[in-house]
Amino acid sequence: MTDQKVSCRSKSDAIGRRLTPHVFGMLSASTIYEPSRFESSYDHDGLICCDLLPAATLSNVKGQYTAISYCAGDPRKAKMVLVNGIQFNVFENLAHVLDMARDFWRKTFPDKECIIWADQICINQFNLAERSHQVGFMRGIYSSAAQTLICLSTTEVNPCGVEWLVKLHQSVDPDGDFYQYYFHLEYYLRTNLANKRFVDDWFTFYDVFSSPWWTRTWVYQEFISSSNIYFLYGRSSIPWKRLSEVLPTLQKYSHFPYFGPAITERQAQVADTNNIVNFFVISKMRFDRVGPFGLMDLLSQSRHLQSSDSRDRIYAFLGLVREDYGIVPDYSPENTMERLLVDIATRIVLQDRTLDILSDACRVRGELSAQLPSWVPDWTTRQCVRLQPRTVGDTSDGSVPIFPRVVEPGKLEVQGFHIGVLRKGKLGWHFPTRQDRFRNDEVEGREELWEIMGAPGPFVLCHIRNKYRLVKEARGGRPAGYASVEDIVQRHGLLAQTVILS
């Protein structure tokens, strides 16, 4: 981590001081800077009291503070806290998190000062320049924290599910052979099915999966980047280490009917959320083992996550992808979502050297697709698409380079083979000879079959004014007597031609 500084001005100038930009600030959960007495964390009106501590560089406070992760919830629902003695409105859910964090701290670290980084207070959300600058450091903020508290609850809830999970972990020793542990865990669950209290608490465990936290975009990076995590649910907590040991095994029991129809039905009710939880778990294991994700792969698989600003569907992942994409967050009004999507697609093509993005653009269309170039996917749609990256190379004889280039914003130049045409909805095959080069004066709006070099295909393109729009992936059989598109190209001596996709 470099010695870059992070901006943390308060959301309101009523704090009483204007901090210089590009600094990192934290909150003390007490009214003094010395090790706090938690009794002083509330004033006589029951308001949570915090102090905005002096600015410091991120490297100087590494491992000295606690980051929190939560679902912001309805922005119209607010609660008041005191920051530097000044009344300050925060999300109702943030006030809940601060309350739960105080309780957790008193139980877990009673002799330590509680210093917290909270985004809504430490970042001026209404200053677009500051907000744009700040989001580039989210991974550093969470990876540098001594611990991250993830609050899954939003109001007073029944914590029995988490307490049941803690007891389950304590009853089945996770040390030793994995298969032995799996056998002991299954045996323990089966032998306690007759215990009504045990089964009822098992049901409440699945309520944890219903937390809106699992559906938010920003929390994904916060979770992946953190190294020491505690999950809070109500006034109960469990370390991620324990949860990660038990959770994957528990999620498999919907496949075991002898656990009873009631449990299977309860699991089915949270099946969608269960899949999202698996996405988080698998992603963290993969990131810890391998490192940064490919941007296209991550955007394709995270469509189910939600954000209040659609641009966060991109910016929330910047800390988890390679730095060579060169993406700089920009929340200015001029940087519309359509403009951002074109920019991101361009960077993916040029940096990943892949045209798999064409398949994604064809498979999933969203509300913005009509305003986008045909080869640009609408990453704001909710449908997930799993893609296998493919590196773009040269032709077999190396004579024709096929690496695409962007000739102007939204215009992608690629190379491919003109295989056939579509007439009246049916494929009417046409094989241009070496002398019969494709002409720009062909009929406007004609749909043609093309093999795009370096992309999974073939694709149907629509010829419009010397340019082409991507229509769909071509599926179905080949003409009789041909084994593949490559066979067609070789037998008819087709030559690669330049195509501009718009």
Hey, what amino acid is at 327? I
- Tens digit of each residue's pLDDT (9 = 90 or more) over 391-420: 444 434 443 345 788 888 889 998 888 887
Residue 347 in tokens: 């960077």
The DSSP line for 371-440 is GS-TTS--TTSS-----------B-TTS-SB---EEEETTEEEEEEEEEEEEETTEEEE----SSS---T
pTM: 0.78
DSSP 95-152: HHHHHHHHHHHHHH-TTS--EEE-HHHHS-TT-HHHHHHHHTTHHHHHHSSSEEEEE-
Residue 3, token pair as written in the block: 């010695």
**14-20 average pLDDT score:** 27
Kindly report the backbone phi and psi dihedral angles of residue 426, in degrees, each rounded to the nearest multiple of 5, phi listed first: -115, 155
344 against 33, higher pLDDT: 344
SS3 223: helix
Return the biggest CA–CA distance within the chain.
89
Phi, psi for residue 163 in degrees, rounded to 5: -60, -40
In the structure encoding, which two tokens stand for residue 175, read together?
A: 């040390």
Amino acid 68: pLDDT: 93
Closest CA to 133 of 20, 28, 291: 20
Provide the CA 218 distance to its chain's centre, in angstroms: 7
Q: Work out whether strand 49-52 and strand 78-83 pair parallel, antiparallel, or are unpaired.
A: parallel
List, for residues 423-448, the tens digit of each pLDDT value: 655 555 555 444 443 444 445 567 88
Tokens of 306: 């939600």
Listed residue (417, 439, 414) closest to 429, CA to CA: 417
Owner of token pair 């300050």: 88
Q: Which of 128-132, 223-227, 290-294, 404-408 has the highest mean pLDDT?
A: 223-227
Q: What is the mean pLDDT of residues 161-186?
A: 75
The first and second tokens of residue 296, run together, are 């296209």
Classify burial at 371, counting beta carbons within 10 Å of its beta carbon; exposed 0-12, middle 13-18, buried 19 or more: middle
- Closest to 361 (Cα-Cα) out of 375, 345, 381, 341: 375
Query: Average pLDDT in the 350-376 region?
Result: 86
**101-123 confidence digits (pLDDT tens):** 988 998 999 888 888 888 888 77
pLDDT score, position 5: 32
Query: For the CA atoms of 306, 381, 475, 419, what is the dihedral angle to 10 degrees?
Result: -120
